[in-house]
Chains A and B, each alone.
Chain A
């Protein structure tokens, strides 16, 4: 049963899903494809090879760095690499309820210890350094970010740790979303950068959906736009009501002034005043230093040369398969 362009033909959980054209779809003549097969759990590198070999037509996000650069510089394939800025953010959530991250100075130290530029270098520049939790690609934000409250400064980070009573640093665990695109790079960068200021980090790979429920001292977190408004980010990340295990606030940030500001901003009409109000909230969130924004990602896709009509939704993640077709 569906009113969408495709209907489910078969599904083997964790392996394949086959969709077939819905003949009763309300838009005449669409979709173009008769059948669409998804293979799950394919290593991204293998996915790239399969597209190159003509066995698949599309690889999702998560093209490994080595493959990405090779494809981009290849005269044969470079035209088949599609990129678009995602309206989303990758960040670290510091659990404000557990020691030592309940200490503002410790959180500020972590903010200043992370070398985000080097991280983006590891990711082949597939993103933009983030200063706040609100993507600069949100409607009305004009690509401008809030000022950077925490420029990369390991010496200052060490001083903050000393002031917080951790002259020799401490040991902690980072919950790392294991199927996160670029997760290896994030884990390596965070581990090395924090080690340089005295914080010893053990990486604990977790299924991405488990990062919100694992109640880790530190965890990677991502959010992609569900609807085109900053409230989609602010309400989830900062509200006290979301600060529960399994909620969308893995830093367990509960700042009643922020809640009040969010409640005041939410009903504002679209326009500069609304944007300005949310920028102020973004700055306030950063003053709490519960989230370490890493970068606003750039999505990359690799498709076969015969694929036509490939559009990527701006909201959330998936592509729109309705208009896909194959050149003869």
Chain B
């Protein structure tokens, strides 16, 4: 039986026209707009850290501590004060964002790409392929996420590269399951049947007919995945299994300043707030994109 599927609109995924209904829906969603703006500001600030940061983030300033060795509060020289080692807090926040976001965005991109590929293949080919991919997904999903990440990262000495690899290798399952479910429905659709009747190869059907249809889901999943990866990356760094000192990183900053929660709460609050705001921004953006890209109004669970 054929399922009603909206006609393929390439614009829905790539290069949306300003008049496109999805774009109009997105513009009417204040939370999504706020998320997009906030996300853009945070990403831009981190990317422009070399220009914006007043100091070298790793420099220990002799005048960056009080005579008895306590961190300084905000001043003209150090706009957000200094950390417990006499380093400029603002510069560390900006560069820390670079590290945290580089890991989060790259992991999300890899995870979504792997999920997209495996979801398409499993959902379309079915049978043994689907079984194998499905069981692999179950196995990966059944691992306690953080514990698995800690174990893996500790085996392969923690670096930015190994963190990205580990996070993407355990978070691709979310995208894979979503895409597979969608492909299962789509492969019964008239236009796929028609393509098959016309003699199109499996590769052509996957790439030209199915992939563009599931791309909006992948984009939504990517935005949400950035938030998820950022949380995971920060947790690992907080636990000492992630980014290593002195590289600035938000999770590591929270961990290192934790003894100062009573005397200098700003040191814990600022990187914590950066993590929270970035996660919120990408989550709202993702949720907004989901309802905007779903012409039926969006009840799907992502």
Does chain A bind chain B? Answer: yes
Q: A121-B65, A125-B69, A202-B244 are in contact. Are A69 and B263 (CB under 8 A)?
A: yes
Residues of chain B with a CB closer than 8 A to A193's CB: 60
| Chain B proximity mask over A151-195: 1 for CB below 8 Å, otherwise 0 | 000000000000000000000000000000000110111011101
- Flag if A203 contacts B86 (CB, 8 Å): no
Q: Which of B195-254 contact A (CB under 8 A)?
A: 244-246
Nearest-CB distance from B186 to chain A (Å)? 49
Nearest-CB distance from B241 to chain A (Å)? 12
Q: Which partner residue on chain B sits nearest A195 by CB separation? A: B58
- Flag if A117 contacts B263 (CB, 8 Å): no
| Chain B proximity mask over A36-73: 1 for CB below 8 Å, otherwise 0 | 00000000010000000000000000001111011000
B84 at the interface (CB under 8 A from A): yes
Q: A66-B259, A69-B263, A70-B262 are in contact. Are A188 and B245 (CB under 8 A)?
A: yes
- Flag if A203 contacts B69 (CB, 8 Å): no
- How many chain A residues touch B (Cβ–Cβ < 8 Å)? 28
Nearest-CB distance from A188 to chain B (Å)? 5
Nearest-CB distance from A313 to chain B (Å)? 27
- Flag if A118 contacts B263 (CB, 8 Å): no
A231 at the interface (CB under 8 A from B): no
Nearest-CB distance from A309 to chain B (Å)? 30
A interface majority secondary structure: helix
Q: A66-B84, A69-B69, A202-B244 are in contact. Are A121 and B62 (CB under 8 A)?
A: yes
Residue with the highest number of chain B CB atoms closer than 10 Å, among A66, A118, A202? A66
Q: Which partner residue on chain B sits nearest A189 by CB separation? A: B60
Q: Which of B251-266 contact A (CB under 8 A)?
A: 256, 259-260, 262-264
Q: Which of B55-73 contact A (CB under 8 A)?
A: 58-60, 62, 65, 67-70
- Flag if A66 contacts B264 (CB, 8 Å): yes
- Flag if A117 contacts B244 (CB, 8 Å): no
B85 at the interface (CB under 8 A from A): yes
Residue of A64, A69, A118, A196 touching B86 (CB-CB under 8 A) = A118
Residues of chain A with a CB closer than 8 A to B86's CB: 118, 121-122
| Chain B proximity mask over A117-141: 1 for CB below 8 Å, otherwise 0 | 1101111110000000000000000
Residue of B58, B70, B245, B246 touching A69 (CB-CB under 8 A) = B70
Residues of chain B with a CB closer than 8 A to A123's CB: 69
- Flag if B263 contacts A66 (CB, 8 Å): yes
Q: Which partner residue on chain B sits nearest A124 by CB separation? A: B69
- Flag if B245 contacts A191 (CB, 8 Å): yes
- Flag if B69 contacts A191 (CB, 8 Å): no
Residues of chain B with a CB closer than 8 A to A239's CB: none
Residues of chain B with a CB closer than 8 A to A65's CB: 69-70, 84, 259
For the complex, what is the distance from the CA of A188 to the CA of B262, rounded to whole Å?
22
Pairs A–B under 8 Å by Cβ, sample size 11: A45-B259, A69-B69, A122-B60, A122-B85, A184-B256, A188-B85, A192-B59, A195-B58, A195-B246, A202-B244, A203-B245
Using a CB–CB cutoff of 8 Å, the interface residues on chain A facing chain B are 45, 64-67, 69-70, 115, 117-118, 120-125, 184-185, 187-189, 191-193, 195-196, 202-203
| A-B contact sample (16 more), CB < 8 A, given A45-B259, A64-B259, A122-B86 | A65-B69, A65-B84, A66-B84, A66-B260, A69-B69, A118-B60, A121-B67, A122-B60, A124-B69, A185-B85, A188-B60, A191-B245, A191-B246, A192-B59, A192-B246, A195-B246
